[in-house]
Structure 1
Amino acid sequence: MIHHVIPIEVLHLFPKLDARLVELLYSLSPEEWHRQTITRKWIVKDIAAHLLDGNLRTLSMLRDHYWANKPEHINTYKDLVIYLNEMNAEWVTACKRLSPHVIIEMLERTGRQYSEFLATLDPWDDSVFSVAWAGEEISKNWFHIAREYTEKWIHQQQIRDAVGKPGLMTKELFYPFINTFMCGLPQTYKYVDVPTGTSVEVVVTGDIGGVWHINKTDEGWVLRHFTRLEPNALVEIDPETSWRLFSKGISPEEALEKVKIKGDEDLGKIALGMVSVMA
């Protein structure tokens, strides 16, 4: 359960993120376009193509109200993930025939249209798509837009990681990303049977990080930035490890070597299983 009175503001960051992406892609050598990424299944070119798909799909479905190949049998979260993975794989395969230059040009053009469209949405209207990894069946547009920001951030970061080029690990760009990801914490603890009043604190260290709390109430787990409760478990994780872990780039077991847990270790370890992407 997320209690946000003020939406996570990211609209102004999309043009900045896209500009950095285009600059990055133009700088890549032919060899770098074919580097393997942390996703394991995709090379750099595949991720760039996937980012293009995100722009085109949003413009087609949400702006132009054109829905093709609507799924008929999506009854569970697993069904949805399978459907999305199949669509993603289909698009990436088709884009293998496109040159990097064509992909960049299309990203530039559609990125501007994509940002302009998102700006037309009322942040408090119900979104067409819910943020399923946060356990929501209905989400507000502001949350959908924030989730879209995390998609663009994480995939560009995966490219940068693969080619060894920095650029997104700043307070301005990273904090909104991780702040949105942390909305998945209550869902991660949803079925953890502990007494009301139990509290878990997650700290992403450094100047670009932050602090998040989830408290067990009679209604379930609630996400807050501030609480008077003393945490039963305190989890400290560095920014580099956090983005890899919560996007399934590394496993909780691999992350555990770099994470500090104070208090109830078993309770704290559960946070490492949070996945804030559709997977």
Structure 2
Amino acid sequence: MKKPGKIDVIQLIQELDSMLISLLEELSPADWEARTISRDWNVKDISVHLLDGNLRTLSMLRDGYYGEKPEKVNSHSDLVSFLNGLNADWVRAAKRLSPRVIIDLLRLSGNEYFNFLASLAPDDKAGFPVAWAGENESKNWFHIAREYTEKWHHQQQIRLAIGSEKELLNEKWYLPYLDTSLRALPHHYKSVAGEENDLIKFSFNGETEKSWYLYYDGSWELLESATQATSCEVSIPDELAWRIFTRGIRQDEALANSEIKGKRELGLKFFDMLAVMA
């Protein structure tokens, strides 16, 4: 049995940002208004949300300036509500920005954002924990990997809206996204009663093919490899996995296009997992 190790995506973040800029520069006016699977946001809204991510990271974690601070946040749902409010306010204000201005600001802030992340010591304590993975304290390498998943899935939402989603499903880009997101599995399964030595295999099939495992020995543990017999096997098309983790697909649709073998109740839990603050 092999446990997953650290994730190093710092250089990929810079490349991913460059891909986003190139993509946005080619969009038509109609493309900018195209609807996405992200709530009520169009392509332009998601683009400015990505800009907000750059600017807030620099303001809070680089400069120590937090601006609006949450009040009366006593639970995960309180925090999500606060973040949703910040996101909605920003997107509403950015309606007045032109696509050209958005691209220029993304390019400028993206360079500063990358330089800041690259300056962080990977094993030092991160400014914010990866809450969707159940952590109250995280290392910088996991924080940076979480940032990668944010940039990956929002760019993928844009690409899906304009019919250009295949590129980010390439293993180079998608495997780090999956590897990071699946760190949430033990936290997500904590309320699931397993039997001693239960082993669940999660296989992702398509352009990127890879399997991960959950092993039960009093609690659930994520593994990269395992040799013993499985209690349950879940097979998911790779193009659907990211949509499951971001509430971008209905559970019944995801289930209808996936397969569960063995203890079905163990596999079903996978389909309401989140790897975002939602």
Sort the TM-score into its range (normalised by shorter chain).
Answer: over 0.9
C-alpha displacement of 1:202: 0.4
Partner of 1:50: 49
For residues 73-109 of structure 1, give each alpha carbon's deviation from its aligned partner in whole angstroms, at most 9, with x where no partner exists: 2211111100100000000000001001100000001
C-alpha displacement of 1:235: 0.4
Partner of 2:174: 174
C-alpha displacement of 1:40: 3.0
- Rounded Cα–Cα distance in structure 2 between residues aligned with 1:53 and 1:30: 22
- Rounded Cα–Cα distance in structure 2 between residues aligned with 1:130 and 1:15: 22
145-154 or 227-236, larger mean C-alpha shift: 227-236
- Are the aligned partners of 2:200 and 2:231 in contact in 1 as well (CA < 8 Å)? yes
For residues 211-248 of structure 1, give each alpha carbon's deviation from its aligned partner in whole angstroms, at most 9, with x where no partner exists: 11011122x21101012332211000111111111111
Gaps of 5+ in 2: none
- Are the aligned partners of 2:122 and 2:140 in contact in 1 as well (CA < 8 Å)? yes
- Are the aligned partners of 2:232 and 2:260 in contact in 1 as well (CA < 8 Å)? yes
Q: Which amino acid aligns with 2:89?
A: E
Partner of 1:91: 90
The SS at the match of 2:119 is: coil
Task: Check if 1:36 corresponds to 2:38.
Answer: no
- Rounded Cα–Cα distance in structure 2 between residues aligned with 1:188 and 1:203: 17
The SS at the match of 2:211 is: strand
Partner of 2:194: 194
49-58 or 129-138, larger mean C-alpha shift: 129-138
Q: CA RMSD in A?
A: 1.3
- Rounded Cα–Cα distance in structure 2 between residues aligned with 1:156 and 1:210: 22
C-alpha displacement of 1:207: 4.8
The SS at the match of 2:182 is: helix
After superposition, residues 1-279 of structure 1 pair within 5 angstroms as 4=4, 6-166=5-165, 167-218=167-218, 220-279=219-278
Gaps of 5+ in 1: none
Q: Which amino acid aligns with 1:11?
A: I
The SS at the match of 1:168 is: helix
The SS at the match of 1:67 is: coil
C-alpha displacement of 1:205: 1.2
The SS at the match of 2:261 is: strand
Q: How many residue pairs were aligned? A: 276
Aligned residues with identical type, % of pairs:
47
- Rounded Cα–Cα distance in structure 1 between residues aligned with 2:12 and 2:109: 16
The SS at the match of 2:220 is: strand
Compute the TM-score of the two structures, normalised by the length of structure 2.
0.96
C-alpha displacement of 1:266: 1.7
| Runs of 4+ more than 6 Å apart | none
